[in-house]
């Protein structure tokens, strides 16, 4: 079980690293001056590659988490309300990941109307989600 837990932590940390950096690329894309096609294309290429890599990291993070929960019973039974809250946070992280994918498509096809300031605020969400998830897992408040 400890190997599964260790790899789960590594993949979750790696997944979040991608979710921390991808919106920073969006900030830069929103700030590209009109007519700077080379810069825009380079940032879009970076964002697409990071999105693919981040998605590849999310799959084992989720699979290993499910293995810990369903296979080893971590967070099951009475007194484990923290796991329900953590699963809600995981659902929000998956939703955020999907939102990044949608935003990337809109940035790529030129239909995004979001400002760089909006993307800066959007970039703060995974920090808060990670904080809540870690507190729930370590402190187990309920």
- From CA 80, how far away is CA 63, in angstroms rounded? 20
List pLDDT tens digits, range 106-124. 999 999 999 999 999 999 9
Per-residue pLDDT band for 77 (boundaries 50, 70, 90) equals confident
> Would you state the structure tokens that stand for residue 105, as one six-digit string?
């498509």
Helix axes 81-109, 125-139, angle to 10 degrees: 160
What pTM does this model have?
0.95
Instruction: Give the pLDDT confidence of 40-61 residue by residue, as tens digits.
Output: 999 999 999 999 999 999 999 9
């Amino acid at each position: 079980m400890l190997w599964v837990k260790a790899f789960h932590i590594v993949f979750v940390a790696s997944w979040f690293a991608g979710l921390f950096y991808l919106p920073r690329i969006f900030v830069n894309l929103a700030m590209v001056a009109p007519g700077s096609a080379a810069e825009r294309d380079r940032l879009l290429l970076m964002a697409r590659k990071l999105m693919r890599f981040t998605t590849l990291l999310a799959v084992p993070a989720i699979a290993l988490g499910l293995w810990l929960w369903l296979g080893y019973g971590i967070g099951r039974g009475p007194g484990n309300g923290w796991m329900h809250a953590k699963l809600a946070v995981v659902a929000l992280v998956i939703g955020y990941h999907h939102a990044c994918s949608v935003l990337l498509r809109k940035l790529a096809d030129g239909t995004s109307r979001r400002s760089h300031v909006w993307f800066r605020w959007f970039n703060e969400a995974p920090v808060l989600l990670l904080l809540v998830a870690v507190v729930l897992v370590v402190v187990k408040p309920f």
